[in-house]
Amino acid sequence: MPSAQSTPCLTRGLSHPLPKRHQRHTLVLSPSRNFMSQKPLRIGISACFLYPDSERPYFYTKTLLYAEESTLRWVMGAGGFPIFLPRPWGAFDLDMLVDQIDALVLQGGSDVAPQSYNEQPISERWPGDPIRDEYDIALINKCIEKNVPILALCRGFQILNVALGGTLYQDLDIQNPSETDHKDQDLYDGCHHKATLIEGSDFAKLYPSSSDICTINSIHHQAVKDLAPGLEIGCLSKDDDIIEAFVLKGGEDPSKPFAVGVQWHPEFIEDNDPNLLPRKPLMDALFEAARARQS
């Protein structure tokens, strides 16, 4: 990985510069709005995968595709109609599936396979999920081709970066150790840490009333290493500068692809939780982009 050169600090509240490879131009998205009174948008939900497992008490010889319920409830609570997206099969190709949705939510879940970004695993403990990677990357590319807005969560955030040409840390404790706990198996989504919204970034503009220092949940051991071309950082982990959020440049133009991704799990946050960065602006931004592309 190439060494980073320091440049003038672009963040509020950080005492050290933002690495040069983390700098991107900004774009403009509108702050949150409420579309509950309008016709429900059809929100595609990417699939999580479970493969045959003899230890499983049911369907143990079968591959299961599923959605985590918190994600579905978040979409429905915001006024969207969730549509589950299986792997294309038979007469139903990817074009047909994507044509049925107004926007896409990329779910979290399994690790990304290092081979998906041209690396080899540093440990047999983290082989990743190349089958799901192939599905996700094809879905991302098709949505970008068809100008379908994307909201990417945790693994979805990571695979979006990979699909656009970026790379990942396979394990933070080994490849980028710090004092920040990004994962605690016992606490799970109760594991929280501080993060910094990047002043002037489009992502920060989604949170005009929030402090530049915020708190997010954290359930990951992989993370973005090299940022893909075309992405703009919007949030960094406060003490170790791990990338926590980005947006795709040009998304303010309805004729260009829109994507926003976060490393945390907003679907696990209650709407009235005063301790964590609110999730509502994220879904509102997705809905606004979808509505803009309908007009």
Give the HSE-up count for residue 73: Cα atoms under 13 Å, Cβ half-sphere: 9
User: Active site residue: 232, 244, 267, 288, which one?
Assistant: 267
pLDDT 10s digits, 160-216:
999 999 999 999 999 988 877 787 788 888 788 999 999 999 999 999 988 899 999
| CATH number of 20-294, picked from 2.60.40.10, 3.40.50.2000, 3.40.605.10, 3.40.50.880 | 3.40.50.880
Q: Residue 226: which pLDDT band, with cuts at 50, 70 and 90?
A: very high
User: Active site residue: 154, 191, 214, 235, which one?
Assistant: 154
Whether residue 267 lies in the annotated active site = yes
Pairing of strands 259-262, 150-153: parallel
pTM of the model: 0.86
CB count, 10 Å around CB of 192? 16
Q: Residue 9: which pLDDT band, with cuts at 50, 70 and 90?
A: very low
Instruction: Provide the phi-psi class of 177: left if phi over 0, else alpha when psi is between -120 and 50, else beta.
Output: beta
Domain boundaries defined on the chain? 20-294
Long-range contacts of 181-184 (CB under 8 A, 24+ apart): 181/218, 182/218, 182/220, 182/221, 182/223, 182/237, 182/242, 183/218, 183/219, 183/220, 183/221
> How far is 149 from 43, CA to CA, in rounded Å?
10
Beta strands in the chain (DSSP E): 42-46, 48-50, 64-66, 81-85, 103-106, 150-153, 168-169, 192-197, 213-217, 223-224, 231-237, 243-248, 259-262
Whether residue 154 lies in the annotated active site = yes
pLDDT 10s digits, 79-105:
999 999 999 999 999 999 999 999 999
With beta carbons less than 8 A apart as the criterion, state whether 68 and 188 touch.
Answer: no
User: Active site residue: 143, 193, 265, 288, which one?
Assistant: 265
